[in-house]
């Protein structure tokens, strides 16, 4: 049940998703990955991707135009 | 990190937009309404996070086809929509021009260059403009590139035309009639949609 | 006791509807919703403009004007006054401002700076390739992919296929140089 932080700050779409996919492979089921981005497209794409692949995802706008995503690996 | 309401900025900006609209109205109602329409287009693009670059790029890079499907939806609506409008205007003798352009091998090359460019720039032409509005420094640079590239393209087009023959525009309804043209294109799009769905299902089964 | 439960249920309903309303101005909208709205707006532009929506034709006009200003081009170009009277200028300007407005309405407006120099280079290079490719083909993702196909033009389909190929090449380049 570990929590990891992945730095995707300022990376353009779709690099954050690629990095997330790769990082998620290393994680165990139940682990959580935390990401922050100021890119609306990226935030949305991450949420959609996570839902498509059956992972639990929580998205929160923590500041004006900055999103924080918590992805929990489920499979 | 703090989150504060940008209501004052919103009200101020809205006022400026309304004033600008009224100003344009004096010059030409057509320009004013097209401006309003484009505001709506920009608003819609930003709110739905639609990205045509992702439609083409994400299947290759992350295996996601949600945006490709969105593009297909737009085309499914617009092909018959354009056909109806064109028909209606022609019958009423109102001038109308569709985007039916001549093409050649250079058109295909142009498409390849455009595809490479939009992936590198993080957005297509509409995506670049949208992200300039969202405040992205990267796309502001891409816009500068767009302007430079457009100039280079325009001045080099005559040389391309010397190398490659340009075929006159092919308007599909002229070849096969309106109804077959529209139906054929819709069927092709629906077929592509089915193939995408099938590809996604296969991918899901593998994981 | 039942009144309290009813009141709570009502308040719950109210805040649920408030949440739904918030999505309209905060986003994000579902992709398919955006697609349908965009398609309708696109058709309305055709109705008003009597030509389809396009982006790069106007950008080319501005770039030629700029080139004329700095002496890179001697032939006839549109004057600044003419540029400000073409509908293309306002279609492009409005798109930028509309997107900005969308962020302000949601209190999400901020400047989003570059984080790495490599993105500046790829943005400039990417922009140049896009502008170049669009103008030798007489259209971009809106003028040719969206509205070329919508206009039942063969060139639209050809360009779209080419963009798909280009995107694949671009993806390879991205993985190699930008990841």
**Residue of chain A with shortest Cα separation from B53:** A13
Predicted complex ipTM: 0.95
Minimum Cα–Cα distance from B160: chain C residue: C136
Nearest by CB: A65 against C108, C114, C119? C108
C54's tokens: 């396009």
Of A18, A48, A64, the CB nearest to C110: A64
Please give the residue of chain C at the shortest CA–CA distance from A40: C28
Residues of chain B with pLDDT under 70: 1-2, 207
Query: Phi/psi at A8 (nearest 5 deg)?
Result: -120, 15
Q: Is A13 a catalytic site residue?
A: yes
DSSP string computed for B55-108: HHHHHHHT---HHHHHHHHHHHHHHHHHHHHHHHHHHTT---------B-HHHH
Size of interface A-C (CB pairs under 8 A): 37
Which is nearest to B157 in space by CA: A39, C131, C14? Answer: C131
Judging contacts by C-beta atoms under 8 Å, the chain B residues touching residue C167 are 53, 56-57, 60, 115-116, 118-119
**Distance of alpha carbon B176 from alpha carbon C54, whole angstroms:** 26
Name chain C contacts of B69, Cβ cutoff 8 Å: 31-32
> Cα–Cα distance between B109 and B123 in angstroms, integer?
19
- Count A/B contacts: CB-CB distance under 8 Å: 48
For B28-41, the pLDDT digits (tens) are 999 999 999 999 99
Collapsing DSSP to helix, strand or coil, A57 comes out as: strand
* Interface with chain A: mutation pick from C29, C112, C116, C127, highest number of A CBs within 10 Å: C112
Dihedral angle of Cα B145, C129, C140, A15, to the nearest 10 degrees: -90
Q: d(Cα C142, Cα C140) in Å, to the nearest integer? A: 5
Starting at the edge strand found earlier in the chain, the sheet holding A66-72 runs A3-6, A32-37, A66-72, A56-63
> Which tokens in the block code for residue A64?
């004006």
Candidate list A6, A13, A45, A66, residue with the active-site label: A13
Average model confidence (pLDDT) for chain C? Answer: 92
Euclidean distance between CA atoms B109 and B119, whole angstroms: 16
C42 in contact with chain B, both atoms CB, cutoff 8 A: yes
Per the CB < 8 A criterion, the answer to whether C63 and B105 are in contact is no
The per-residue pLDDT for B2 is 67
pLDDT tens sequence across B135-182: 999 999 999 999 999 999 999 999 999 999 999 999 999 999 999 999
Give me the helix-helix angle, B29-48 and C31-49, nearest 10°: 170
Q: Which residue of B has its CA nearest to A22?
A: B62
Task: Tell me if chain B has a CB within 8 Å of the CB of C119.
Answer: yes
pLDDT in tens, A19-59: 999 999 999 999 999 999 999 999 999 999 999 888 999 99
Q: Is the pLDDT of residue C112 over 60?
A: yes
- In whole angstroms, give the CA distance from residue C141 to residue B111: 9
**The pTM is what?**
0.94
Å between A42 CA and nearest CA of chain B: 9
Per-residue pLDDT band for C140 (boundaries 50, 70, 90) equals very high
Tokens 């096969």 locate to B176
Task: For residue C157, give the nearest of C146, C167, C149, C166 by alpha carbon.
Answer: C149
Who wins on pLDDT, C27 or B69? Answer: B69
Q: Are β-strands A32-37 and A3-6 bridged in parallel, bridged antiparallel, or unpaired?
A: parallel
């Amino acid at each position: 049940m570990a929590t990891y932080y992945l730095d995707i700050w300022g990376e353009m779409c779709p690099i954050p998703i690629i990095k997330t996919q790769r990082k998620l492979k290393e994680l165990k089921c139940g682990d959580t990955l935390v990401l922050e981005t100021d890119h609306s497209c990226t935030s949305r794409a991450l949420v959609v991707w996570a839902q498509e692949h059956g992972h639990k995802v929580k998205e929160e706008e923590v500041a004006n135009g900055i999103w924080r995503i918590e992805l929990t690996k489920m499979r | 990190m703090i989150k504060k309401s940008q209501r004052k900025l919103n009200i101020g900006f809205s006022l400026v937009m309304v004033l600008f609209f009224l100003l344009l109205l004096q010059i030409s109602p057509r320009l004013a309404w097209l401006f309003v329409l484009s505001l709506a287009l920009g608003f819609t693009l930003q709110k739905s996070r639609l990205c045509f670059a992702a439609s083409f790029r994400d299947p290759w890079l992350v295996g996601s086809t949600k945006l490709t499907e969105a593009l297909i939806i737009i085309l499914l609506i617009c092909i018959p929509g354009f056909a109806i409008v064109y028909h209606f205007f022609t019958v009423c003798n109102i001038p109308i021009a569709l985007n039916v352009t001549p093409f050649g091998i250079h058109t295909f090359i142009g498409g390849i260059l455009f595809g490479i460019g939009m992936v590198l720039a993080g957005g297509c032409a509409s995506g670049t403009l949208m992200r300039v509005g969202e405040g992205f420094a990267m796309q502001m640079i891409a816009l500068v590139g767009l302007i430079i590239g457009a100039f280079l393209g325009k001045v080099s087009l005559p040389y391309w035309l010397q190398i490659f023959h340009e075929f006159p525009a092919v308007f599909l309804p002229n070849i096969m009639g309106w109804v077959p043209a529209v139906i054929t294109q819709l069927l092709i799009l629906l077929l592509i949609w089915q193939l995408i769905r099938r590809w996604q299902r296969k991918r899901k089964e593998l994981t | 006791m039942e009144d309290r439960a009813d009141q709570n249920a009502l308040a719950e309903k109210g805040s649920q509807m408030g949440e739904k309303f918030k999505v309209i101005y905060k986003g994000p909208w579902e992709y398919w919703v955006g697609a349908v709205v965009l398609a309708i707006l696109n058709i309305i532009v055709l109705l008003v403009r009597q030509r389809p929506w396009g982006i790069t034709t106007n950008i080319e006009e501005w770039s030629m004007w700029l080139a004329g200003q700095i002496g890179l081009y001697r032939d006839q170009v549109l004057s600044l006054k003419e540029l400000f009277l073409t509908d293309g200028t306002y279609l492009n300007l409005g798109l930028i401002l509309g997107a900005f407005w969308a962020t302000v309405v949601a209190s999400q407006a901020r400047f989003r700076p570059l984080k790495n120099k490599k993105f500046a280079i790829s943005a400039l290079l990417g922009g140049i390739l896009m502008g170049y490719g669009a103008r030798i083909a007489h259209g971009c993702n809106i003028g040719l992919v969206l509205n070329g196909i919508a206009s039942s033009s063969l060139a639209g389909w050809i360009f779209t296929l080419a963009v798909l190929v280009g995107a694949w090449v671009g993806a390879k380049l991205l993985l190699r140089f930008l990841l």
